Structure 1
Amino acid sequence: MDNKEDLEITLIGTGTIGLSFAAFHLSHLSSPSQLTIYDTRPNLSQHIQETLPKFFNDRDAPLNITEINLATSLEGAVKSASIIQESGPENLDIKRKLWAEVERHAPKDALLWSSTSGIPASQQSQDMMDKARLLVVHPYNPPHIMPLLELVPSPSTSDAVIQRTKAFWEARNRTPIHIKRETTGFVANRLAFALLREAIHLVSEGVVSVSELDSIVENSMGPRWAVAGPFKSYHAGGGPAGLEGFFGNIGQTVQNCWDDAGRVDVGQGWEKGIFDMARSEYGTVDTEERDIVTRRVLQVIREEKEGAGDEK
């Protein structure tokens, strides 16, 4: 890839998200030696050698994994880093202790990012001397493919950190969105989990099966929302009158659905039936196929939008 960067990036944690970020950063750095990875697992080298290559497709340049720095201590991992990105366990105590130690050893101008799915920066930074440094940078899985990064500051996070982080991702053709205040689950997951809750209800009530519901999403709102989000989609659906026209036409149906959803309590006992159905219908999902299709969908959308922009 062109425009390789000369940065020192440290990743903490080598789960799915951590290694996905590793794959992304490696495609933008001048050399794998600019990436340092720290994890307490005893078989770290073997784990990376066996797992990291799976995040690259056949068209990517060969990866020399041996050039990646594997740190044996947190101090050694962060002492010269420009960016420190944590993708560790979703455990507040672990993250609080981690960031306090990172702060003691990292350069004063290093960017400190947490990839947490739901623990706010204001809680993670409680033991830090300078709480202005920490920012949640929440990806959408898998982050080496998906463009979205939710930038979720605490009330203490400095604007300079937010702007530097936003500039970093925009320069790499990603879509960083500044979430204006901390809220449970941030934004993308709240939207996704609202749909998941309704999906669980519909399957539990015997309206559709797990695979049928997935097929409905994949063949309707999935591709639609890849082109335009819900506001833009329904604004277009209202014709010349826009979103107001849409609600004027079928607003009562929308309200009826909202009222019905408000009365729904998925309660207890749904887990086993739905878990078993998903396992029976899907087994182990082929994430390689998922990634190939996702890349192609995003490429087509990008090409079409850029083409439409050139025609204006």
Structure 2
Amino acid sequence: MDRNENVNITLIGAGTIGLSFAAFHLAHLPSPSQLTIYDTRPDLARYIQETLPNFYSGKDISSTILKINVVSSLEDAVRNATIIQESGPENLDIKRKLWAQVEYHAPKDSLLWTSTSGIPASHQSRDMSDKTRLLVVHPYNPPHIMPLLELVPSPSTSDTVIQRTKAFWESHHRTPIHIKRETTGFVANRLAFALLREAIHLVSEGVVSVSELDKIVENSMGPRWAVAGPFKSYHAGGGAAGLEGFFGNIGQTVQNCWDDAGQVNVGEGWEKGVFDMAKDEYGTVDTEERDRITRRILQVIQEEKMGKVYGDVEPSSS
């Protein structure tokens, strides 16, 4: 699917993820493509007018909002859609009923995407006649900024759906990754939650505070992993011998850390101390600052990888 191809995109669900996707699509839709938003909330049009500007850092987007087709009927929302992207509640019963209705009213060749964080497509599609059509397209929040989309098919999802979806996101300079089989939490969240679990263990054991642990990540693996993931990073860390050399050098230390990893579980009593520490340290996080800095980091990485130099200031020789 070419980025210049006219498409009619319908977003089901106008929560944080849904409106973040709306901000992305509005910036990339070629004319005369159409963006439609459907949600069951009775004040949908007013809610969009009040909330969507938050994704544009205070810019006046009144003319942009006028381009959105706001509807109160699911049938009207999907009737002429090329792409239908659902970002509703994480509730299996709701999603199963929804997709059966969408399938009945939508065009036979429209792409059906669910932005779920953890409910497999195979579970959601049980009431569908054609289970080959549904695909998980899981973003990394916020999707109007973060490039990653995890494409997680069910065993029934057709390869054509996967390839059409991948082509759409690649044509819009995003990074769609085909996850080969359904697994709990997919991949990005599994990696993030593994780090979160060890972070909670270290804080609850009194090794470091919440803010100290965040500073460690922000000043070490955070910037490094923005440039190279763990395999590439540690492959580089092994020098000429690569990843094998890395494990040859400090493999026992790695194993000792794995053996000593924290086994904290939700509901075991650590929550109040960690939650209170985070609240005292950060209060309400300024997500506009987070998004502004994240945009800049991604821009610099893209510029460097493309081999381009921007601006008039030459690098310092010191």
Q: Is TM > 0.5 for Structure 1 vs Structure 2?
A: yes
Amino acid of the structure 1 residue aligned with 2:76: G
Greater mean deviation of Cα atoms: 130-139 or 56-65: 56-65
Is 1:101 the counterpart of 2:101? The answer is: yes
Which residue of 2 is the match for residue 205 of structure 1? 205
Which residue of 1 is the match for residue 307 of structure 2? 307
Gaps of 5+ in 1: none
Is 1:186 the counterpart of 2:182? The answer is: no
Gaps of 5+ in 2: 309-318
CA separation in 2, counterparts of 1:72 and 1:194?
40
Is 1:162 the counterpart of 2:162? The answer is: yes
8 Å contact from structure 2 (residues 53, 60) kept in 1? no
Change (3 A) 1:114 1:170: same
CA separation in 2, counterparts of 1:38 and 1:102?
12
Q: Percent identity?
A: 81
CA separation in 2, counterparts of 1:43 and 1:189?
32
Matches within 5 A, 1:279-290: 279-290=279-290
Runs in 1 of length 4+ with deviation above 2 angstroms? 30-33, 57-64, 263-267
CA separation in 2, counterparts of 1:265 and 1:288?
32
Which residue of 2 is the match for residue 11 of structure 1? 11
* Aligned pairs, number: 306
* SS of match in other structure, 2:290: helix
* SS of match in other structure, 2:135: strand
- CA positional deviation for 1:31: 4.8
* SS of match in other structure, 2:117: coil
What is the RMSD of the two structures over their aligned residues, measured on CA atoms? 1.7
Which residue of 1 is the match for residue 313 of structure 2? none
CA separation in 2, counterparts of 1:305 and 1:62?
35
8 Å contact from structure 2 (residues 225, 233) kept in 1? yes
Matches within 5 A, 1:137-286: 137-261=137-261, 264-266=263-265, 268-286=268-286
Which residue of 1 is the match for residue 36 of structure 2? 36
8 Å contact from structure 2 (residues 7, 33) kept in 1? no
* SS of match in other structure, 1:98: helix
CA separation in 1, counterparts of 2:76 and 2:8?
13
Which residue of 1 is the match for residue 50 of structure 2? 50
8 Å contact from structure 1 (residues 33, 69) kept in 2? no
CA separation in 2, counterparts of 1:66 and 1:60?
12
Query: Can you list the C-alpha shifts for 1:202-260, whole angstroms capped at 9, x where unaligned?
Result: 11001111111111101100000000000000000000000000001111100000011
Query: Can you list the C-alpha shifts for 1:275-294, whole angstroms capped at 9, x where unaligned?
Result: 11111110111111111000
CA separation in 1, counterparts of 2:31 and 2:46?
21
TM-score, normalising length from structure 2?
0.93
CA separation in 2, counterparts of 1:28 and 1:126?
33
TM-score, normalising length from structure 1?
0.95
- CA positional deviation for 1:67: 2.7
